[in-house]
Structure 1
Amino acid sequence: MTKLQGAPVRVIANGEEALATAAELTESFRPGAAGRDAERRLPLEELGRLSASGLLGITVPAAHGGADVPAATLAEVFRLLATADASLAQIPQSHFVYVHVLRRQGSPAQQEFFFGEVLAGRRFGNAQSEKGTRHVQDIRTRLGPQDDGSYLLTGVKHYATGALFADWIPVLARAADDGELYVAYVPRGAAGVTVLDDWDGMGQRTTASGTVRLDRVVVPADRVVPHHLTFRGPQLHGAVAQLLHAAIDAGIAAGALAEAAEFVRTRSRPWFESGLETAAEDPLLIQRFGELSVQVRAAEALLASAARTVDAAAKGLTDDTAAEASIAVAAAKVQAGAAAVETSSALFELAGTRSALDGLNLHRHWRDARTHTLHDPARWKVQHIGRYVLNGTRPPRHGLL
């Protein structure tokens, strides 16, 4: 074990241990989820336990002391956490994405340093999205070289999930001279870095996905990774990132369905025309629960299939295997997003009027689903799937598929 601010940090040995740890944490996080959301109480204590559990280090390569779990295990970890608290599950999504960036483009020295940080329980946030630009890939944050070999980083980032809670903030920036894409790994407390807790979304309320201001932040050369090289050949960067988003959506759907079933079994009254003693005996409700269960199971099955496809591609990465992985993940994301929105909305239809009471905060499932599924449009994923199936057109290498 290593130490995290005086607390021991476990180093998880394998996938089985990772899943068992995730299941244990999920059950401990579940009881307080509604209250944290209702009061917008940031999950600092819960994130400390997540760090200490060792889960943040499970994708570190075995050569560096990590469990190096497959994508299938990682996706299931995220799905489990999201069944309890979608905000809490969303916070480490960027952490694993930027661990993956280091696996792909980090130098040996960078990997040795940062993988050590991760195994010690240190958290990566993110600073990538920007407001007011032409589109999501129009990155205005600039990384300019200095005479001593270091860089100056300047820009403003929004929707920076995890940054407020991070030890390191990976910043997506373009080189001032040639516009190429880089990731600068910046300490949370570095001079010139300001992280604002100004996120006011209707859902995922406790992710603290606020603003990061970067005012002439000095970045040593050995903290900069050439991310543009990722997209000059077959890559799984987008597939891995999107797989985790799909897992969160699938978890939201499963969590909403489980809470709806519990409410109907224990708190709902039967409709008087049914002539039944309990709401759970109502064949109309039974039918609807069955239909929603099919949607949730389909999301979970596509998620598992997509994760296996990503793992297969990682063992033999080519243009064809990378394309198949991206398409499989796109299909899983479309289904999981639809299941999350439908199930979290149908919860009220199934549970009845009392389920809409604000004090119960059952609407957090729908608010989380509706907010998270706006991350990137499903309609474009369907387009890429259709082009691939009909014409064999591989999806683009832009990191969002």
Structure 2
Amino acid sequence: MIRVLASVDPAIAQIPQGHFLVVDILAVWGGPAIRTRVFADALAGRRIGSALAERGGRHAQDLTTRLRMGGNGELRLNGRKYYCTGALTAAWVAVSALDDEDRLRLALVPRDAAGSAVDTDWSAMGQRATISGTTTLEAVVVDPELVLDYATAYSVPQQLGARAQLVHTAIETGIARGTVDDTRAYLRERARPSSEAIRAGVESVAGDPHVLHRYGRLSVRVRAAETLLADAAQLLEQVGLVPPDATAAATGSLAVAAAKAFASEVAVEAGSELFALCGTSATDERWNLHRHWRNARTHSVHDPVDWKYHHLGAYEIGDVLPPNHGQL
């Protein structure tokens, strides 16, 4: 379903990604109290947004957001998060923070909690409708029942990361499919043969051997991305959310890594090939075809594909499991 949605609007398809991740976390690590409260809202159609990433640190895991116990016995959140996909229109926001002992926690707070503000300062060139801007937390009171030991969730073999990455893979694959479909439509309905093609005796785009070759190659690569996505999804179902060991976790994680790395490359390639195939007229703003490349390029740098290929090679050649108990 995410793939189908992303073929039309990948930003909308990305909005529930954090929701699915938090639901998985609660299903495995949440106690009865937090599951009862949050799952009831989820079943009623209310979403969970994510506030996990930050800007300005030395690295992506260098968090400054803090969950502190006050003198009055209240837990309070203070910090500033970015890339908060889905938070603007969510009922709950999942916030990662370090506690008094510098241990990683995950706190769920109501979207409209006092001291919480979600901004619309997302200004990326693509995936614009995700509105993945800043969430500011100033002395936000947190119910202790809505706090999870987030560090523990990733300290054992699991598929949380792989399942989250599977959604991102579906988004990239959907972008690629939407792009190749729009390319086909433009070639059939609007494109004209180039001057070089006319001199070679080509009367229509459908008779241009170079167009047919490049489109055919692109179409096959998109189908390959869809197949890798389907295979990875099937494998994750077999492995389960809580695999028996790190090797089983690695099997699922590496399958998703391969699918995501390939889909990310194909989606960007498709966005560029569209113009090479359709010509200058396709760059007209009224067609808005450049959205495909912008969305693919923006989303594809979510995490580096080079490391995915690295871990795939390390496992295939040297039997080296990915880090984090088999998770990428």
What band does the TM-score fall into relative to the shorter chain?
over 0.9
What is the DSSP-based 3-state SS (H/G/I as helix, E as strand, rest coil) of the residue aligned with 2:77?
strand
Cα deviation, residue 149, structure 1: 5.4
Aligned partners of 1:278 and 1:317: how far apart in 2?
A: 58
Deviation per residue, 1:153-207 (Å, 9 max, x gap): 00000111111111111111111x2211111111111000011100110011111
Counting only pairs closer than 5 Å after superposition, residues 2-401 of structure 1 correspond to structure 2 as 77-146=1-70, 150-175=74-99, 177-271=100-194, 272-314=198-240, 316-397=243-324, 401=328
Give 1:341's aligned amino acid.
V
What is the DSSP-based 3-state SS (H/G/I as helix, E as strand, rest coil) of the residue aligned with 1:210?
coil
What is the DSSP-based 3-state SS (H/G/I as helix, E as strand, rest coil) of the residue aligned with 2:303?
coil
Give 1:225's aligned amino acid.
L
Aligned partners of 1:168 and 1:370: how far apart in 2?
A: 29
Contact 1:237-1:399 at 8 Å conserved across structures: no
Give 2:132's aligned amino acid.
S
Contact 2:67-2:78 at 8 Å conserved across structures: yes
Cα 1:150–1:223 change in 2 (3 A) is: farther
Deviation per residue, 1:311-350 (Å, 9 max, x gap): 1111753211101111111101110000000011100011
Give 1:276's aligned amino acid.
V
TM-score, normalising length: structure 2? 0.95
Cα deviation, residue 116, structure 1: 1.1
Give 1:252's aligned amino acid.
I
Aligned partners of 1:85 and 1:329: how far apart in 2?
A: 22
Deviation per residue, 1:186-235 (Å, 9 max, x gap): 11110000111001100111111110000010001111111111122101
What is the DSSP-based 3-state SS (H/G/I as helix, E as strand, rest coil) of the residue aligned with 2:21?
helix
Deviation per residue, 1:28-49 (Å, 9 max, x gap): xxxxxxxxxxxxxxxxxxxxxx
Deviation per residue, 1:115-138 (Å, 9 max, x gap): 111110001111111111011111
What is the DSSP-based 3-state SS (H/G/I as helix, E as strand, rest coil) of the residue aligned with 1:125?
strand
What is the DSSP-based 3-state SS (H/G/I as helix, E as strand, rest coil) of the residue aligned with 1:172?
strand
Cα deviation, residue 280, structure 1: 2.3
Contact 2:169-2:264 at 8 Å conserved across structures: yes
Aligned partners of 1:155 and 1:347: how far apart in 2?
A: 42
Cα 1:170–1:399 change in 2 (3 A) is: farther
Deviation per residue, 1:286-318 (Å, 9 max, x gap): 111111012111111111111112111117532
Contact 2:34-2:146 at 8 Å conserved across structures: yes
Give 1:324's aligned amino acid.
T
TM-score, normalising length: structure 1? 0.78
Contact 1:149-1:220 at 8 Å conserved across structures: no
Cα 1:373–1:398 change in 2 (3 A) is: farther
Aligned partners of 1:121 and 1:260: how far apart in 2?
A: 36
Contact 2:246-2:325 at 8 Å conserved across structures: no
Cα deviation, residue 282, structure 1: 1.9
Unpaired runs of 5+ residues, structure 2, are none
Cα deviation, residue 274, structure 1: 4.4
Aligned partners of 2:148 and 2:39: how far apart in 1?
A: 14
Cα 1:400–1:212 change in 2 (3 A) is: farther
Aligned partners of 1:152 and 1:241: how far apart in 2?
A: 28
What is the DSSP-based 3-state SS (H/G/I as helix, E as strand, rest coil) of the residue aligned with 1:171?
strand
Contact 1:149-1:221 at 8 Å conserved across structures: no
Equivalenced residue count is 324
Aligned partners of 1:361 and 1:302: how far apart in 2?
A: 29
User: Relative contact order: is structure 1 or structure 2 higher (C-alpha 8 Å, sep ≥ 6)?
Assistant: 2
Unpaired runs of 5+ residues, structure 1, are 1-76
Aligned partners of 1:273 and 1:332: how far apart in 2?
A: 42
Give 1:206's aligned amino acid.
A
Cα 1:203–1:245 change in 2 (3 A) is: same
Contact 1:242-1:400 at 8 Å conserved across structures: no
What is the DSSP-based 3-state SS (H/G/I as helix, E as strand, rest coil) of the residue aligned with 1:232?
coil
What is the DSSP-based 3-state SS (H/G/I as helix, E as strand, rest coil) of the residue aligned with 2:48?
coil
What is the DSSP-based 3-state SS (H/G/I as helix, E as strand, rest coil) of the residue aligned with 1:126?
strand
Aligned partners of 1:384 and 1:148: how far apart in 2?
A: 48
What is the DSSP-based 3-state SS (H/G/I as helix, E as strand, rest coil) of the residue aligned with 2:212?
helix
Aligned partners of 2:74 and 2:314: how far apart in 1?
A: 44
Cα deviation, residue 150, structure 1: 4.0
Deviates more, 1:300-309 or 1:139-148: 139-148
What is the DSSP-based 3-state SS (H/G/I as helix, E as strand, rest coil) of the residue aligned with 2:93?
strand
Cα 1:268–1:376 change in 2 (3 A) is: same
Contact 1:193-1:213 at 8 Å conserved across structures: yes
